[in-house]
Amino acid sequence: MSVLSDQDIIRELGKGIVFYPLKPGSIKACDLCLTASEYAYAIGLKKCLPIDK
């Protein structure tokens, strides 16, 4: 396992990894601050998934 730098994360966005919504300032050094969302999207299925509450 390796750690991605902030530049690695930015370079991979939309290619190898997808985060939405990604808030400005969320990427710092090798840290990515994530916030839970009401939505889930399956990239392989290309559709939104239902969220059980």
Residue 24 lies in a domain: yes
Residue 27 lies in a domain: yes
Specify the number of domains making up the chain: 1
Residue 15 lies in a domain: yes
Residue 1 lies in a domain: no
pLDDT tens-digit map of 3-50: 778 888 888 887 877 777 777 788 887 777 777 777 788 878 888 887
> Pick the residue with more confidence: 25 or 52?
25
d(CA 48, CA 53): 16
What is the residue range of 24's domain? 6-49
d(CA 21, CA 34): 9
The strand pairing partners of 47, in sequence order, are 42
Residue 40 lies in a domain: yes
pTM assigned to the model? 0.49
